[in-house]
């Protein structure tokens, strides 16, 4: 039986460690001591794993590289973000590789789950493993790649219930990787023909979603100029059996707004300039600014002075019912609104206040402390917001009331019947 270690215990790594930890002892490695302390107390601040599951899993939580020597199947599941210029930042995965390299032994298998561009595992990571270990890749130790498919906040499509793509450096390694993952994945595994194929599969999964959302966002921009309600159009078109149910909105998080840049970066390196993918990215990245500008226009039309006005924004995380703040599209709304000299009140019941302050300089307010505002932007469709009554919504605003319902979570006719001006994407 292979002895498992998981490097990186965030949204991706922790569910992996817990799944294996239900069957045998797992080494859980992370450099964040506060995170390790919380996990030892069976608390997962991301909300991905329940306390009971954490308590039941056999996991040694550690930041000591020497503990990794106990394992011979090492899974690297650290973040792979983009920088301010939207260039892939392999820093975390390369640092993790260097750490693992110091603990490598002959016969070990290193499997990457982090999103990378095709070729990165063998071309960028393997040399670091060799350098730190003094061993030869493909002879003394071996590589695998099994792209993560975690959807933060999704309690239905969890780690063990999503079919797992696996790959290995050799046919023999592929069989081992498939067997290890197959021992915990209820949905089964798909054996990719190579590591590069598995890497490419990962980046196009989210690139496809990004482009479909970009199409909906572009349609929303067009229909808004025509004075047509986009939600009503999608409801009508959705009655056809093969119409795909994508909706316009803000694109953020650790995958959809990031993965396409890994593919386009690699494409540009080999001499091809992507057209469609980058166009979709530009549309999606611009939506926060568009929503902010549209808010200001609606305020003017409602008779509100913009300079010095108060705007309340409900929601800061990148998606509903999830505490993840990474690459939140709401931040683009806030930054654009600040250019107009308004006062912002931001409230999110799931977001961590310290993280919001540290990452974005946003001071979150408790919902009950919000003062009546000139405009209310419902940016994230958290369950707490969806449950608000019309009276509660009305109480958050001055006269005349204005609601910017980004996700279209409320019945427009009911709000308008209550005298509330409504704009939605």
The model's pLDDT over 26-54, given as tens digits with 9 standing for 90+, comes to 999 999 999 999 999 999 998 889 999 99
**Catalytic: 322?**
no
Residues 361-386: what's their mean pLDDT?
Answer: 96
Distance between first and last Cα of the chain: 53
Q: What pLDDT does 6 receive? A: 98
**Average pLDDT of the segment spanning 320-326:** 92
pLDDT at residue 151 tops 90: no
pLDDT for 186 equals 95
H-run or E-run covering 26: strand 26-29
Tens of pLDDT, residues 77-106: 999 999 888 999 999 999 999 999 999 999
Note the pLDDT tens digit of each residue in 273-288: 999 999 999 999 999 9
Q: Which residues contact 389 (CB under 8 A, 6 or more apart)?
A: none
Residue 377: which of 349, 406, 417, 408 has the closest Cα? 406
Q: Which among 125, 137, 255, 322 is annotated as catalytic? A: 255
For the segment 226-250, the average pLDDT, to the nearest whole number, is 95
pLDDT of 130 above 90:
yes
228 contacts: CB under 8 Å, gap ≥ 6:
none
Model confidence, pTM? 0.92
**How does residue 150 score in pLDDT terms, banded at 50, 70 and 90?**
confident
């Amino acid at each position: 039986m292979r002895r498992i270690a998981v490097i990186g215990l965030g949204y991706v790594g922790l569910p992996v460690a817990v799944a294996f930890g239900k069957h045998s002892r797992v080494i859980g490695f992370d450099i964040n001591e506060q995170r390790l302390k919380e996990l030892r107390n069976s608390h997962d601040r991301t909300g991905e794993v329940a306390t009971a599951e954490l308590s039941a899993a056999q996991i040694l939580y550690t930041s000591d590289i020497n503990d990794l020597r106990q394992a011979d199947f090492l899974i690297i599941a650290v973040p792979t973000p983009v920088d301010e210029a939207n260039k892939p930042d392999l820093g975390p995965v390369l640092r993790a590789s260097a750490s693992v390299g110091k603990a490598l032994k002959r016969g070990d298998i290193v499997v990457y789950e982090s999103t990378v561009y095709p070729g990165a595992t063998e071309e960028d990571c393997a040399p670091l493993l060799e350098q730190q270990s003094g061993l030869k890749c493909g002879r003394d130790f071996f590589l695998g790649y099994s792209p993560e498919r975690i959807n933060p906040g999704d309690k239905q499509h969890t780690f063990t219930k999503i079919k797992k793509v696996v790959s290995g450096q050799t046919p023999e390694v592929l069989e081992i990787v498939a067997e290890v993952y197959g021992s915990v994945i209820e949905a089964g595994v798909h054996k990719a023909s190579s590591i590069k194929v598995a890497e490419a599969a990962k980046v196009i999964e989210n690139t496809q979603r990004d482009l479909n959302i970009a199409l909906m966002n572009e349609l929303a921009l067009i229909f808004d100029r025509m004075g047509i309600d986009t939600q009503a159009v999608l409801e009508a078109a959705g009655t056809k059996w093969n119409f795909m149910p994508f909706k316009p909105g803000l694109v953020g998080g650790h995958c959809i707004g990031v993965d396409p840049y890994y593919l386009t970066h690699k494409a540009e390196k080999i001499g091809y300039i992507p057209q469609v993918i980058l166009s979709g990215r530009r549309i999606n990245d611009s939506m926060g600014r568009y929503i902010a500008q549209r808010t200001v226009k609606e305020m003017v039309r409602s008779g509100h002075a913009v300079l010095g006005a108060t705007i309340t924004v409900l929601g800061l995380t990148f998606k509903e019912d999830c505490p993840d703040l990474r690459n939140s599209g709401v931040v683009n709304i806030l930054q654009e609104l600040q250019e107009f000299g308004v006062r912002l009140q931001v409230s999110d019941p799931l977001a961590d206040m310290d993280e919001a302050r540290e990452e974005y300089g946003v001071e979150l307010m408790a919902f009950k402390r919000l003062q009546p505002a000139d405009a209310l932007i419902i940016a994230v469709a958290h369950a707490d917001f969806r449950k608000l009554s019309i009276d509660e919504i009305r109480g958050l605003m001055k006269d005349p009331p204005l609601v910017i319902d980004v996700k279209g979570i409320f019945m427009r006719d009911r709000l308008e019947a209550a005298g509330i001006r409504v704009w939605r994407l």
